[in-house]
Chains A and B, each alone.
Chain A
Amino acid sequence: MILLEFLIYLCVAVCGVGVIRKIYQYVNTPVHLRWELYPVAHEAGEKVCYGGSYFEDVDWWKCPRKPSLIGELKGMIPEMLFVKALYEHNRPLWCRSFPFHFGLYLLIGFAGLIITGAFLNLIGLPVAWASPSSLGRPVYILTILVGIPGMLLTLIGSAALFHRRMIDLDIKDFTYFSHYFNLGFIFATVFFVFLAWLLSDRGFSGLRNFVAGLVPFVPLQPPGFLISVEALFTSLLVAYIPFTNLSHPIAKYFTYHKVRWDDEPNLPGSAMEKRIGEYLNYPVTWSAPHLQGEGARTWAKIATEEIKKDEKR
């Protein structure tokens, strides 16, 4: 049991490190040249409807820039919850991908409810159908209402995606062992969670007690075999995700907010201008004849160098 407890802590720590590393990797990159793609969701007024930008305004630099948070949320939320882009551009895949993703969101909610329930148990508010606590019963019901559909949707979605990768000739050549492994791993993990519920833990009280036992100095109750397997698979999956393609939701934040929708102008005297000034002084090692960086010349030096009329490059 101690080994399992240790493994769970380790896996959560590995996941945390993996996620932070991934975020840091993207945050710690220089501001790039502008490469936005319209429509930009935070564009104000009617422009967002047809994909217009502030470049449509004469003397745009004189106009106050008002990025719309509501517009951004309108762009983000349907994309995050319902995978809108896939619905619009690849409906057959959306039919498989949406249940998978939505199922996973429900399972994240389910995990939150299990942890909440475990804490309620620890502070003496039992989580059960017949709980005297005003919180215990709703959490109990909600855990089931969120958890079971989450499991079923994820199982259906992962199986459907696995099947599509096997049979669809368009993507078969772009499918690797890791794709099958990742989907199989998720399917197996959720399958064990589902099996534990079905065969031995209909109210999730066993799981809740097990999670409560993970709190330091709280004695760990020996879980049943299925809950142990469920915990083992879930922990390993949690540790595995940040190091694979499955962590693309993190990247998606950056591709949307820092590339597609990044229309921030480089205004004189701005913080951005200062950062760009630093980048322009980076030494460059590109070695094409017309650049010859050699690590000694800076980006700005090469970019402002004259090409002589008689130069043969």
Chain B
Amino acid sequence: MKSVKVEDISKPSDQLTHVEPGECMPLPPPYDDPANIPQWKPLNEQARRDVESSLDDTIAVGFPKPKTKEEERELVNKFLSGLEKLFSKENNWTFYQPLLLSMENCARCMTCSDACHIYEASGKNPVYRPAYRSEVLRRIYNKYIKPGGKFFGKWRNGEVDLNWTTVARLLELSYRCNLCRRCAQTCPIGVDNALIAHEIRKVFSQELGIAAKELHEKGSVLQLKVGSSTGMNTEVVKDNIEFIDEDMTDKTGMEIHTPWDKVGADVLLIHNAGEIMAWPENPGAFAVIFEAAGVNWTMSSEAVAYDSINYGVWYDDFMLAKVAVKHAQVAKKLGVKKIVIGECGHATKALVVVADRVLTGDLNVPRESALTFLRDLVFSGKLKLDPSRNDFPVTLHDPCNMVRLAGIVEPQRQILRKIAPKFREMEPHGVDNYCCGGGSGFAIMSPYNFGDWRFHVSGRKKLQQVLNAFRDELSPDIPKYLCAPCSNCKGQLRDLLQYYNVWEKLRIQYGGLVELIVNCMVDVKLGFIDWEWH
């Protein structure tokens, strides 16, 4: 692997670093055979010519190259002005303290490197070290923002030049981190490199208006404009849920009707609307469980409130707050006792944890994760369950946003231990888990050849974990279930398993937790889980 120094980020070249697929972390059988590894499509010449692509082998944001030196200077100056705002209490009260702590106290011991699945999977590419991008920002901050930085910065913190190349590569580099914060967990001082990646994304979004299209334009903005990042408006979402209800009624033999806008319900259930489009059996299974357990629940047909996604949590505090406020306003209007977030990790973290200190007064509506709520339903005795219906190997993927970042670890395990006799953990698991590789928005991002990077690099560790969890029963004669109670993780796992042809080769299927619960409900027709659909 070619050595890349921190200061090299400022030096113009066609490409700062390259990931050689052959040097990536080895995978277990059958992917130890290069013939079973899909080819990584190179970037096309037009992309290389038109958009910023000088970091590595892929493009996440796709920012058009400036046409003139004047444009370059303007972007650099705007970046610097955004950086100043990042270190102002008024503009960035939301993360000023943790940012300052992480910027000023890194011991550069590199303990974080070995915790990072992207660094490990890439064959230890130096540019993907969690500390690399932090160090670039730290040097810029120390040299250009801190008083006396131009005189003492180099001595104290090393050298870097701030130019268009640096800014453009830093933008892309902020989208080579899943924000899973596994690195922060291992830091002996408590420095958080993922937070720094998050804050870099914020400078670009909040000052320059630059963010990954899938997160901002097609994500948060679309959600706030029409109601959902999927593009579904109220009428469409109600139609789709009606269709799902009919399908569930046929499939389970139970009469299912999703209640809408029920004033005074105990529970306002908000799904990631991607589930409704891509995995209808998931919201369907929720409805089956809630109806069977007699829960007084409702969904909202009001724009934004039928989609729990909150991509702002990854790149823009204001977009985070806008969506969280909308969710809370609708809950308040309906007078529900609490909001329950469906199987979606980032939505849970955004609304239950992070936005807790944005929602004040009567907007501070009680909020909780579906996993907790489901655990109580499963153990309440209100559902008649036959675990023998789930008599196949099951393993559990821990969504970082629910586990390491929200401390919701046991409810999903308690359920699985009760309903899945062949449940086994993958290693490591719980708060030490690895990200699926789709975290921080990657699961919905596939511009240019970014998908190849996601599957070869950021998702590689998860694939290794899944294969190892089922290593004793890898035979394609045995269907296996990878339980991922998170919509974005499922998006990543769907694409990852498809990319490596895992279903065809090994019969590993993925899905949520509620599907497993419904699959073993005695009152439901046999075979709720559709193994052939994947």
Cβ of B325 and Cβ of A304 under 8 Å apart?
yes
Cβ of A93 and Cβ of B369 under 8 Å apart?
no
From residue A32, how far is it (CB to closest CB) to chain B in Å? 5
From residue A73, how far is it (CB to closest CB) to chain B in Å? 17
Within the assembled complex, what's the spacing in Å between the Cα atoms of A36 and B181? 10
Q: Mark A77-110, 1 if CB is under 8 A from B, else 0.
A: 0010001011011100100010000000000000
Q: Mark B136-152, 1 if CB is under 8 A from A, else 0.
A: 00000000000000000
Cβ of B155 and Cβ of A56 under 8 Å apart?
no
Cβ of A251 and Cβ of B105 under 8 Å apart?
yes
Within the assembled complex, what's the spacing in Å between the Cα atoms of A37 and B353? 11
Contacts of B354 in A (CB 8 A): 33-35
Most central of A51, A244, A282, A289 by chain B CB within 10 Å: A51
Q: Which of B81, B93, B158, B431 contacts A279 (CB 8 A)?
A: B93
Q: Identify which of A192-200, A221-229, A255-263 touches chain B.
A: A255-263
Interface size on A, residues (CB 8 A): 91
Using known A-B contacts A51-B404, A266-B356, determine if residue A174 contacts B131 with beta carbons closer than 8 Å: yes
Residues of B207-240 contacting chain A, CB below 8 A: 207-209, 216, 221, 224-226
Residue on B with the closest CB to A263? B407
Cβ of A34 and Cβ of B322 under 8 Å apart?
no
Q: Identify which of A39-47, A118-126, A129-137 touches chain B.
A: A39-47
A254 CB–B CB distance under 8 Å: yes
Contacts of B100 in A (CB 8 A): 25-26, 29
Most central of A35, A245, A279, A283 by chain B CB within 10 Å: A35
Within the assembled complex, what's the spacing in Å between the Cα atoms of A289 and B90? 19
Interface size on B, residues (CB 8 A): 96
Residue on A with the closest CB to B431? A51
Most central of A57, A288, A309 by chain B CB within 10 Å: A288
Q: Which of B106, B206, B357 contacts A276 (CB 8 A)?
A: B357
Using known A-B contacts A56-B410, A174-B6, A252-B105, determine if residue A33 contacts B190 with beta carbons closer than 8 Å: no
Interface of B is mostly: helix
Residues of B322-349 contacting chain A, CB below 8 A: 322, 325, 338
Within the assembled complex, what's the spacing in Å between the Cα atoms of A299 and B320? 12
Cβ of A313 and Cβ of B221 under 8 Å apart?
yes
Within the assembled complex, what's the spacing in Å between the Cα atoms of A104 and B96? 31
Within the assembled complex, what's the spacing in Å between the Cα atoms of A289 and B192? 29
Q: Mark A228-251, 1 if CB is under 8 A from B, else 0.
A: 000000000000000011001001
Cβ of A171 and Cβ of B225 under 8 Å apart?
no
B515 CB–A CB distance under 8 Å: no
Contacts of A68 in B (CB 8 A): none
Residue on B with the closest CB to A309? B225
Cβ of A288 and Cβ of B407 under 8 Å apart?
no
Within the assembled complex, what's the spacing in Å between the Cα atoms of A307 and B186? 40
Q: Which of A93, A255, A273, A286 contacts B207 (CB 8 A)?
A: A286
Q: Which of A51, A173, A179, A259 contacts B101 (CB 8 A)?
A: A259
From residue A165, how far is it (CB to closest CB) to chain B in Å? 9
Q: Which of A39, A54, A86 contacts B431 (CB 8 A)?
A: A39
B502 CB–A CB distance under 8 Å: no
Within the assembled complex, what's the spacing in Å between the Cα atoms of A290 and B320? 13
A24 CB–B CB distance under 8 Å: no
B403 CB–A CB distance under 8 Å: yes
Q: Mark B107-141, 1 if CB is under 8 A from A, else 0.
A: 11111011100000000001000010001000000
B392 CB–A CB distance under 8 Å: no
Contacts of B109 in A (CB 8 A): 86, 90, 93, 97, 171
A9 CB–B CB distance under 8 Å: no
Q: List 21 A-B contacts (CB under 8 A).
A: A26-B101, A32-B357, A33-B317, A34-B354, A35-B192, A37-B405, A51-B407, A56-B410, A86-B109, A90-B188, A97-B109, A173-B126, A178-B157, A245-B107, A251-B101, A255-B105, A273-B361, A282-B91, A286-B82, A286-B91, A286-B318
Question: Which A residues are closer than 8 A to B by beta carbons?
Answer: 25-26, 29-40, 43, 47, 50-61, 79, 83, 85-86, 88-90, 93, 97, 169-171, 173-179, 244-245, 248, 251-252, 254-256, 258-260, 263, 265-268, 272-273, 276-277, 279-280, 282-291, 293, 299, 302-309, 311, 313
Known pairs A31-B97, A170-B113. 6 more at Cβ < 8 A? A52-B410, A55-B407, A86-B188, A89-B186, A251-B104, A304-B321
Q: Which 8 A-B pairs have the closest CB atoms?
A: A53-B407, A255-B190, A51-B431, A303-B321, A288-B209, A29-B97, A174-B108, A30-B93
Question: Which B residues are closer than 8 A to A by beta carbons?
Answer: 3, 5-6, 78, 81-82, 85, 88-91, 93-98, 100-102, 104-111, 113-115, 126, 131, 135, 154-158, 181, 184-192, 195, 205-209, 216, 221, 224-226, 317-319, 321-322, 325, 338, 352-361, 364, 366, 368-369, 372-373, 375-376, 403-411, 430-431
